[in-house]
A and B are shown apart, each in its own frame.
Chain A
């Protein structure tokens, strides 16, 4: 286990280094002098000279990269052109919304995807299974923002049950403000719950063909006990390993969902920064998201190892 953990952490670190080179190169491949890319068109000659020196733009590219990494490691991701504030603090402002949105979405994904997937697998081949599986495939074929707009139309505009946009911090208005995240999290959960549903169903069916399941059935164990103790437990392992992938999809789709619901999160910040040409913020967000994504995948992989000791033997 430990040698695997060490090796897996090592590859993650290597991938991270390579990814950081890609993110670093981002500013340099945008057409135009990086100094204007970073400062905007309104920069004064003084600012330009200062930043050129600070980033070492007169130095070889390798030194520039190392300096950039050094800054990033100490939490300095550059300066936002639009906000005139450190990029890290701009990102931190959106962190509360995005973290809560991701967490609530994951809760929906687990609560909806897994139980319905189990039902579909247990009733394998029935009309219920075909209906549920078909519905899941349909949900995976629907653009997230379209779902979001319909939820707004029905639950906010027509029924008036829930707010349609924005999110005031729970630290200002209490936990009641979480109601602002109900529609966005359901929107974001729809395609991902569909994915987990299909995966749960498929891996349940895979496991149910195993010899030990047949043996358990032959011993006369009650069918629902076989499902719960023998099939579900093992099938969930595969589902756990897919959480890393789901998380990435969620990060991507959050960009659109946060825009639809005008949430002050990191996803909407990306889109706004693109429209504002605030390149340092875009670069910072891409870096932060890649780091989070790689860490989540590392944790998922290591957890999988702990949960399923058989993997080690293969």
Chain B
């Protein structure tokens, strides 16, 4: 099993017990909150898993390795950074996608770049951001984060 399910199971049980011991009412409230959040994401999440399963069947891993693998170099990282900047994928959905990319042979540097631009750069939401901050600041923030994402990806790639 790739994920560390046991860490989450043990941590959640221990925290629930501790919390229950300290305050029953709060604990029940917390569990209810957690359950509600889970309910909200469960269905869209399952749908994304369906989509990822389909795409994984259609796109051969060799293609992923070629364009996003360790040997794809700067071009691969730029692809990842640009795709991450222009797409608007909710965070929780991007993780299974990232895990699949790594399993299929994409490099850590490229996946980290993709994830970071996805989170910190938003071309689609730029008009909204401009309304809050003004054009100059919004564009500058996105540009700086785009550069930061490439640096982050490169460093993560060197560390792992």
Q: Are A and B physically bound partners?
A: no
A interface residues, Cβ below 8 angstroms from B: none
